[in-house]
Chains A and B, each alone.
Chain A
Amino acid sequence: MVFNDTGYSIKTTTGKLTYGNRFDHILARLGYKRSKHSVEPGLYAIGTPAQDSPVFVSASYTLSFDALRSALSGTDAYILVLDTKGINVWCAAGKGTFGTDELVHRIESTGLKNIITHRTLIVPQLGATGISAHKVRTRSGFRVEYGPVHASDLPEYMKTRKATPGMRRVRFTLRDRITLIPVELFFVPLPFIIAVVIISLLGGLMTAAAVVTAILAGIVLFPILLPWIPTKDFSTKGFIIGALSAFPFAIWAFNTTHDASLLLRYGSALVYMLAMPSITAFFALNFTGSTTFTSVTGVRREIYAHVPTMASMLVTALTLVVVLVILRYGGM
């Protein structure tokens, strides 16, 4: 930490990522101690910035801050880190912690006006969900300039201070979707894990395998296949993937009950065809929260359109299990 002649504290950083940083990124991607990947808020100097050097605004999340500083490697600049409680720029902006109030407060508390002579801040574009540029100007005198979505485009952007249309767009590539899988997997809700254990005790290994398959179809297979599954709704996409993964189990159930009546054999197969797609669809629907394009209105409509179907499919499957057990062992 250095103190300049104005008496305000400026922390120093570099554009170089250490092995420690990269290890921290892996843990963050795995969802390990999710809120612990944070950077201390405040003003940072990278290189040897002068009074006219650019100021970049970032979030107090290691992945955000490190993406910015590695993109700025070799340049002299200031980084103003807002207190977003260890959350990335876009999510924090949606919550309002990466917001107008915090930015104005951080400009004041760091004494930025005494450190630089210009009055421009380069804010990541996705921060616009929490920051109101004209309000920041009125309240602090600083002009907000929205830079590209990705920090990696900054070197190109800084040549002209103009973003190409491509730099302004958010995408959701296969790589992005795969990156999300570990974090989603590590946070499979506890009730589901308990349910799997109980089911395997009650219904045997194959039943437990079916439940695990249905969950994995929703959490692993679904994000990968997302753009290629027909229909727009995530729930219906989930029903499709779920039905496809349930099919082998249904056939297995039909074949292993060959000594029973045909009604019972079809009934056993139907249990898998009802239960598994409803579980997969539920996880698929929840993936909307991780995407970069689903709207609140759409998700709400999806919930009302499909969650009742999921629930009734599951209830029907469970009822069918009870009926089938009575039919088979009840001596009827």
Chain B
Amino acid sequence: MFNSYTENTLEYDEKLCINCRMCSTVCPHGVFSGGADKARLVNKKSCMECGACQLNCPTGAITVESGVGCAYAMMWSALTGKKEVTCGCDDDAGSCCAPTTTQLFKSER
């Protein structure tokens, strides 16, 4: 109950890897490391599910359910049964999901 971050949706199929090194380049948390002939998944627990590796893997060797982890949006969708809005970035400046009231009301559009 004190660590909800032990699991994530990142999956890597080494057989499909062509060692283009894109995943280790784009990952902001060093989850992948460039190996001799295949990329290596070295730090899976640090994955934040941003989806950059999946999007830039030309062979589809990586899958991850990416999304903006906005707690407000998730709670709102859980309460209303509406589809999860990505986040309130329409109104947002510095951070992705600073809590805003307008965000909640705007998501109803």
Contact = CB atoms under 8 A, between A and B. Distances in A.
A20 B86 CA distance: 32
Given A168-B25, A189-B99, A183 B93 contact: yes
B26 A180 contact: no
A232 B46 CA distance: 13
A313 to B, nearest CB: 15
Contacts, number: 191
Given A125-B28, A133-B56, A301-B4, A288 B89 contact: no
Interface string B55-71: 11010000001111111
A187 B101 contact: yes
Contact of B78 (A95, A292, A302, A303): A303
Interface residues of A, number: 66
B96 A168 contact: no
Overall SS of chain B's interface:
loop
A165 to B, nearest CB: 7
B56 A288 contact: no
Interface in A43-102: 61, 63, 85, 87-88, 90-95
Given A125-B28, A231-B2, A91 B55 contact: no
Interface string A275-314: 0000000010110111011111111111101010000000
Interface of B: 1-5, 7-9, 22, 25-30, 46-52, 55-56, 58, 65-72, 74-75, 78, 86-87, 89-101, 104
